[in-house]
């Protein structure tokens, strides 16, 4: 990473995934779409935006799921070319490098990346609840709240909550299990 890219992470741009390789095409489309189906190249161009959902196509990109289960939600076709919807939010910079901003439902990687690069803190989780952005830290975190808010002055955090341990999914052991975290915090959808 260049010094400029490191500073961009610290200032809320997101997490740099790097140069786009291994796919024939990677685009960014509007995120408020449900199912897309089959569209024309012109319609595809109209869907594209600066920051949005990352979609890819290529030889190594799965064209469909077993029995078609999940295809409607995660696949669409542009004049016969199948694209996969990643569910990730991001953008492509001027150097054609891909930046991640988070999952569409939890688009806060940029805040977490800034916190971790500036304050070297432990596990964090961020989510929105009733129009408030909530940052969750583990209790043993010794960083002062004013330092946290100063480090991410590009985004307003409405509330900081503490838990003994932030739960992670059993499959990856790294991704925050937001459903379990909400249970711990006694926050219901």
Query: Residue 7: its pLDDT value, please?
Result: 93
How large is the average pLDDT for residues 117-143?
A: 89
| For residue 96, pLDDT beyond 70 | yes
Query: Residue 37: its pLDDT value, please?
Result: 92
Query: Residue 170: its pLDDT value, please?
Result: 81
The hierarchical CATH code for the domain 109-184 is 3.30.300.30
Domain locations in the chain as residue ranges: 3-103, 109-184
Q: CATH number of the domain at 3-103, out of 1.10.760.10, 2.30.38.10, 3.40.190.10, 3.40.50.720?
A: 2.30.38.10
How large is the average pLDDT for residues 1-28?
A: 93
Query: Residue 134: its pLDDT value, please?
Result: 94
Query: Residue 106: its pLDDT value, please?
Result: 85
Query: Residue 97: its pLDDT value, please?
Result: 96
Tell me what the pLDDT averaged over the chain comes to: 91
* pLDDT above 70: percentage of residues in the chain: 99
| For residue 161, pLDDT beyond 90 | yes
In angstroms, the CA 175 to CA 105 distance is: 14
How large is the average pLDDT for residues 93-109?
A: 92
Query: Residue 78: its pLDDT value, please?
Result: 96
Query: Residue 140: its pLDDT value, please?
Result: 82
Higher pLDDT, 82 or 175: 82
Query: Residue 189: its pLDDT value, please?
Result: 64
3-103 against 109-184: fold identical? no
| For residue 188, pLDDT beyond 90 | no
b/e per residue, 12-33, with b = 16+ CB within 10 A?
ebbbbeeeeeeeeebbbbebee
Instruction: Give the pLDDT confidence of 26-84 residue by residue, as tens digits.
Output: 999 998 878 999 999 999 999 999 999 999 999 989 899 999 898 999 999 999 999 99
Higher pLDDT, 188 or 7: 7
């Amino acid at each position: 990473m260049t010094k400029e890219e490191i500073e961009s992470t610290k200032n809320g741009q997101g997490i740099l995934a790097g140069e786009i390789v291994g796919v024939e095409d990677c685009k960014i489309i509007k995120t408020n779409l449900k199912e897309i189906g089959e569209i024309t190249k012109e319609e595809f161009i109209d869907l594209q935006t600066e920051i949005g959902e990352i979609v890819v196509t290529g030889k190594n990109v799965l064209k469909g799921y077993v029995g078609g289960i999940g295809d409607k939600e995660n696949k669409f076709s542009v004049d016969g070319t199948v694209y996969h919807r990643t569910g990730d939010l991001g953008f492509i910079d001027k150097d054609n490098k891909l930046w991640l901003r988070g999952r569409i439902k939890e688009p806060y990687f940029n805040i977490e990346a800034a916190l971790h690069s500036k304050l070297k803190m432990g596990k964090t989780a961020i989510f929105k609840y009733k129009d408030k952005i909530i940052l969750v830290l583990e209790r043993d975190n010794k960083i002062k709240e004013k330092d946290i808010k100063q480090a991410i002055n590009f985004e307003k955090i409405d509330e900081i909550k503490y838990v003994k341990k932030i739960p992670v999914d059993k499959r990856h052991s790294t991704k925050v299990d937001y459903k379990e975290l909400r249970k711990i915090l006694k926050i219901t959808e």
